[in-house]
Amino acid sequence: MIVLNFIIKNILTQAAVVVGLIACLGLLLQKKSIGEVVSGTMKTILGFLVLSAGSSVIQASLAIFGDLFNKAFGLTGLVASIEGINGQAMTDLGLGSEIAITLAGIFVVNIILARLTKFKYIFLTGQALLWESTLCVVFAYFCGLRGVPLIIVGSIVGGAFATLMPAFAQPVMRQITGSDDIALGHFCTIGYMFTALISKLTGDKSKSTEDIELPQSLSFLQDTYLSVMVVMVPFYLIVAIAAGPAKCAEYCGDTNYIVYMFLQALQFVTGLYVLMAGVRLLLAELVPAFQGISMKLVPDSKPALDCPVLFPYAPNAVILGFIFTTIGSIIGMFITPLMGLPMILPGVMSNFFAGGTAGIFANQVGGRRGVAIGCIAHGIFIIIIPALLSPMLGQIGFVNMTCTDVDTVFTGFFFMIIKSIMSIF
Amino acid sequence: MFFFKKKEKKEKKETAPIVNRDELLAKAEEKLAQLDGKEGQDRVAILNELGSLYTQAEETDKAILYYEESLSLNKQHGKASTDLMKLYNKKRQEAALAKDDEKVKEYMEKVQGLMQMSKDMIRGNA
């Protein structure tokens, strides 16, 4: 009894330890050696702690940014960062254990649905599943669920999204890849299908993006964190200049306010770098374990893979999709305050991956014109949708940031609808 | 799109599609003989043709071999990488049905490697 109490109070309440135990289970199920089990478990625990450290740095930087943004413009400014949402949920909100267990639960539900239904899709993109698990747990918690019911409901909803989102995209995926063997595992699918719809209605399929000559790469994206810096530094400096030295003095003290905010922008990038290093370490043992198990249990499954699987089919569409999505997201950034919602500052990496993939979808059904119009619409869509969720995120405790991947936002909407229905009874 | 130069579309030669497996393999043998001494883009072009012929003939291992060599010489988005992804998936599925965990892991890692290459190429890191 004393031992059990010790385990419950000191081990199961520690998210880092719970995460390590899940990795340990996965490694044991794969019949790994003792050495591999121990090292994999320790690396996973370390990953969680690194993630926590990165999250603290991001939140500290965004707290200053958010306050000065409000003082400068009289508006709420939110940075679109699903990574930041995940970091804060796992640490400050104390939901790390639930998120980790729900992640495992999502794998299990995905496997069950793939075995029992005609939707034979196994979602293999580990990071995306972590974001989905985060939103499922956060909103299940917001709906009043706790403990085992929270984990079960979160796993069922997340597992359903993991199985059905690839199915939703598959009609267009079949056209792009020319086969039914591979599916898309990226939680921006609702955005892609919205883009395809706009493109189909406005485009001309006969004129493909691949018929024109474009540079074959976006070299300014060579380094992820340099790219984020290129976007965040101007945002922070504009806020500093607009707020003025008097309002910044509270934070910068004797340091010049422009220099201070420049360094705060770099702090944000640093926090993101550290957080993502933690996420990669965390998932490095968890995901292969469950992928291996799922492939064994559903051998006739269709793997739902990360969006770069589509890049070789239409590389020009990726570049144009990114450009037009960015244009659309800048337009969206100015629309949301007019709707009484916070201003959402777009994420460059989200615009690249989601925008690029949207470009491929748009090109398939609507050619170059479809890419231009569809992806501008996509850019506006991926700003407005997270903005609509931001009041609820604010109530939960997420200040200064909102989500990016729209399917995870719709997960939040789903829970809000269920909560509304339940409140009637 | 108004601002970009259009690629000159190469006229597609109309040839009867080869559907007979023996014909495909015979054609592949001819191409193999041409491979000797070839370097650079000429070699890559023949490797891609070999990969395509063996894919159609359902000689998955040989198709993978030639496509992998092609991409190691010349990383490029196109049929080699898209076909290779499907071939890796096919091998992964066969391994899963045969309950060969090591092979499942091997081909899943190859799939991840292809996707990383794809990301790197778009970013200009390849």
What is the Cα gyration radius of chain B? 17
Domain ranges of chain B: 21-123
Q: Does residue B77 belong to the interface with chain A, where contact is any CB pair within 8 Å?
A: yes
> Rounded distance, CA A383 to CA A387, Å?
6
Per-residue pLDDT, B90: 92
Task: Report which DSSP code applies to B58.
Answer: T
A124-166 pLDDT per residue, tens? 999 999 999 999 999 999 999 999 999 999 999 999 999 999 9
Cα distances (angstroms) measured from residue A356 to each of A83, A178, A351, A364: 20, 19, 7, 13
Tokens matching residue B68 = 């992998």
Task: Report which DSSP code applies to A10.
Answer: I
> B102 to chain A: nearest residue by CA?
A292
Which residue type sits at B22?
Answer: D
Per-residue pLDDT, B1: 43
Q: Do B123 and A221 touch (CB under 8 A)?
A: yes
Task: Report which DSSP code applies to A212.
Answer: B
**pLDDT means over runs of 10, chain B (126 residues):** 53 56 90 87 92 93 95 88 93 89 89 89 72
H-run or E-run covering A179 = none
A83-98 pLDDT per residue, tens? 999 999 988 888 999 9
Residue A102 has pLDDT above 80, yes or no: yes
More confident residue, A102 or A299: A102
* Residue A35 neighbours by CB under 8 Å, 6+ apart: none
Cα distances (angstroms) measured from residue B25 to each of B22, B56, B59, B68: 5, 9, 9, 19
> B103 to chain A: nearest residue by CA?
A292
Give the minimum alpha-carbon distance from B120 to chain A in angstroms, rounded to a whole number. 8
Degrees (nearest 5) of the Cα angle B9, B11, B12? 115
Task: Report which DSSP code applies to B99.
Answer: T
Per-residue pLDDT, B12: 47
How many beta-carbon contacts under 8 Å exist across A and B? 103
Expressed in angstroms, the distance from the first to the final Cα of chain B is 28
Which residue type sits at A158?
Answer: G
Residues in B closer than 8 angstroms to A308, CB to CB, are 115-116, 118-119, 122
Q: Does residue B92 belong to the interface with chain A, where contact is any CB pair within 8 Å?
A: yes
Per-residue pLDDT, B11: 47
Tokens matching residue A228 = 């984020």
A208, A167, A205: which is closest to A189 by C-alpha? Answer: A167
Q: Does residue A180 belong to the interface with chain B, where contact is any CB pair within 8 Å?
A: no
Degrees (nearest 5) of the Cα angle A398, A164, A412? 20
H-run or E-run covering B125 = none
Q: What SS3 state is found at A401? A: strand
The chain-wide mean pLDDT, for chain A, equals 91
Per-residue pLDDT, B89: 92
Q: Does residue A126 belong to the interface with chain B, where contact is any CB pair within 8 Å?
A: no
Q: Can you tell me the mean pLDDT for A305-332? A: 93
Tokens matching residue A202 = 């406005």
Q: Does residue A36 belong to the interface with chain B, where contact is any CB pair within 8 Å?
A: no
Residues in A closer than 8 angstroms to B85, CB to CB, are 182, 309, 312
Q: What is the DSSP string of A317-336?
A: HHHHHHHHHHHHHHHHHHHH
Q: Strand order in A343-345's β-sheet?
A: A343-345, A77-80, A401-402
Longest dimension (CA), chain A: 72
Q: Does residue A211 belong to the interface with chain B, where contact is any CB pair within 8 Å?
A: yes
Q: Please state the ipTM of this predicted complex.
A: 0.82
Counting beta carbons within 10 angstroms of the beta carbon of residue A239, is it exposed (0 to 12), middle (13 to 18) or buried (19 or more)?
buried
Q: Do A182 and B4 touch (CB under 8 A)?
A: no
A264-294 pLDDT per residue, tens? 999 999 999 999 999 999 898 888 878 878 8
H-run or E-run covering A77 = strand A77-80
Buried b (16+ CB within 10 A) or exposed e, A272-307: bbbbbebbebbbbbbbbbbbbbbbbebbebbbbbbb
Interhelix angle A82-90/A34-73, nearest 10 degrees = 110
Cβ B67 vs Cβ B83: under 8 Å: yes
* Residue A131 neighbours by CB under 8 Å, 6+ apart: A82, A85, A86, A187, A403, A405, A408
**CATH 3.20.20 holds for B21-123:** no
Residues in B closer than 8 angstroms to A296, CB to CB, are 96, 99, 101, 104
> Rounded distance, CA A423 to CA A412, Å?
16
Residues in A closer than 8 angstroms to B82, CB to CB, are 177, 312-313
> Rounded distance, CA A125 to CA B103, Å?
20
Buried b (16+ CB within 10 A) or exposed e, B81-102: bbbbbbbbbbbbbebbeeeebe
Give the minimum alpha-carbon distance from A181 to chain B in angstroms, rounded to a whole number. 7
H-run or E-run covering A79 = strand A77-80
Reduced 3-state DSSP string for B47-114:
HHHHHHHHHHCCCHHHHHHHHHHHHHHCCCCCHHHHHHHHHHHHHHHHHHHCCCHHHHHHHHHHHHHH
Q: What SS3 state is found at A178? A: coil
A103-121 pLDDT per residue, tens? 999 999 999 999 999 999 9
Nearest to B122 among A211, A315, A368 (CB): A315
Q: Where are the alpha helices (DSSP H) in A147-256?
A: 147-177, 189-202, 224-252
Cα distances (angstroms) measured from residue A393 to each of A197, A306, B47, B102: 29, 26, 53, 43
Cβ A113 vs Cβ A163: under 8 Å: yes
Phi, psi of A80, deg, nearest 5: -80, 105
Per-residue pLDDT, A213: 84
Spell out where A283-400 has E strands: 302-305, 343-345
> Rounded distance, CA A132 to CA A78, Å?
20
Q: Do B86 and A209 touch (CB under 8 A)?
A: no
* Residue A68 neighbours by CB under 8 Å, 6+ apart: A239, A240, A243, A247, A248, A251, A261
Which residue type sits at B106?
Answer: E
Q: Can you tell me the mean pLDDT for A421-425? A: 81
> Rounded distance, CA A42 to CA A33, Å?
14
Give the minimum alpha-carbon distance from B55 to chain A in angstroms, rounded to a whole number. 14
Residue A218 has pLDDT above 70, yes or no: no
Q: Can you tell me the mean pLDDT for A15-34? A: 88
Q: Do B125 and A222 touch (CB under 8 A)?
A: yes
Domain ranges of chain A: 2-78+91-424
A45-82 pLDDT per residue, tens? 999 999 999 999 999 999 999 999 999 999 899 999 99
Q: Where are the alpha helices (DSSP H) in A30-187?
A: 34-73, 82-90, 96-116, 126-142, 147-177
Which residue is associated with the tokens 């690839």?
Answer: A166
